[in-house]
Every structure is written in structure tokens, then in C-alpha cells.
Amino acid sequence: MNLVAKITEEIKEAMKSQDAVRLSALRMLKSSLKYTAIEKGVASEADLADADVITVARKRIKQCQDAIEGFMKGGRHEQVEKEKAEIAVLESYLPAALSAEELAELVKGAIAEIGATGKAQMGAVMKAVMAKAAGRTDGKSVNAEVQKQLG
């Protein structure tokens, strides 16, 4: 079962169990998937690859995090909690994140593979690491580790 089918099934389950937060998060994700399908020119969101679903889920998480910042500034703590709960739902569709040690090893391997000696090759190292990480980490973490290792 691909991720889109899993999301569809979980929407049905959330409706049956009347889990409003889960239902809201899944509906927003499904809506974002429909927009992505239109952008990519595929027939429906069911035709999207799991990698596309993961990318869309990451975007939705980022949007929720941005909303949390705004709600914190506005003093709307009930909305902050709702957004945090939605992030927890969305994170269940992401692959397991890389540990700090795994990320350090990936960066070390990419530096050796490219033969990078300084910060001038940072872009090439970042590109190689992001390709190997395959959505299991964010760019900020990779950037920090690459800077640390390239000195």
C-alpha cells in the first residue's frame, strides 16, 4: 500500500473515530497532495510517488511550524497545541530521521568521495549528502555538519 492509499484509509478511520485533529491534518495533507499532482501533471494524487508524499508532508510540517511561531507571538496557545498535534500526525508519514552519528558518517563519506578540502566545495558536499539522505534529514542539519567537518 503506497502512502496516498494509507492516508485515504486513515482519513476514513479518523472520521469514524471522530478524531478532529488527526482528520484535519490528514485532509490538509491530502489537499496539498492534490495540488502537487496538478503541478506535476499526473492524473490524481494516487499516482504520486511516496517520495512526493514525503516532500509534501515536510512542506506541511514547515507550514505548521511557521504557524506556531505566529500563534505564539499572538498569544493563541490553543492554536499552538493544535498545530503541534498536527505536526505529530504528519511526522508519522516521514521515514526515520538520521541520527547525528549517521549524518556525520554520510558527510564524512561525501567529503572523501568529492575530495573536498575547504568551504569552497561546500555546495557539492551538501548536494551529495542530501541525495544520499533521501529526505531523512533537513538542510539545516546537513549544513551545520558540513561546515563543522570542512572547518
Do 111 and 142 sit in the same domain of this protein?
Answer: yes
For the segment 60-99, what is each residue's pLDDT rounded down to a tens digit?
988 999 999 999 988 898 999 999 999 998 888 888 777 7
Do 75 and 115 sit in the same domain of this protein?
Answer: no
Give the CATH number, domain containing residue 82: 1.10.1510.10
3-state secondary structure 73-102: HHCCHHHHHHHHHHHHHHHCCCCCCCCHHH
Q: Is 18 helix (H, G, I), strand (E, B) or coil?
A: coil
8 A C-beta contact, residue 90 and residue 61: yes
* 150 pLDDT higher than 80: no
Residue of 140, 93, 144, 147 lying closest to 119 (CA atoms): 147
Q: How many domains does the chain have?
A: 2
DSSP per-residue string spanning 111-142: HHHHT--SGGGHHHHHHHHHHHHTTSS-HHHH
Q: Which domain holds residue 106?
A: 100-150
Burial environment of residue 88 by CB neighbours within 10 A (0 to 12, 13 to 18, 19 or more): middle
Do 80 and 108 sit in the same domain of this protein?
Answer: no
For the segment 19-58, what is each residue's pLDDT rounded down to a tens digit?
999 999 999 999 999 999 888 888 878 888 888 888 888 8
Q: Would you state the pLDDT for residue 1? A: 65
Give the CATH number, domain containing residue 104: 1.10.10.410
Residues belonging to the chain: 151
Q: Would you state the pLDDT for residue 50? A: 81
Out of 42, 58, 91, pick the residue that ends a domain: 91
Q: What is the pTM of this model?
A: 0.71
What's the CA gap between 71 and 11, in Å, rounded?
A: 26
Do 112 and 47 sit in the same domain of this protein?
Answer: no
Do 23 and 65 sit in the same domain of this protein?
Answer: yes
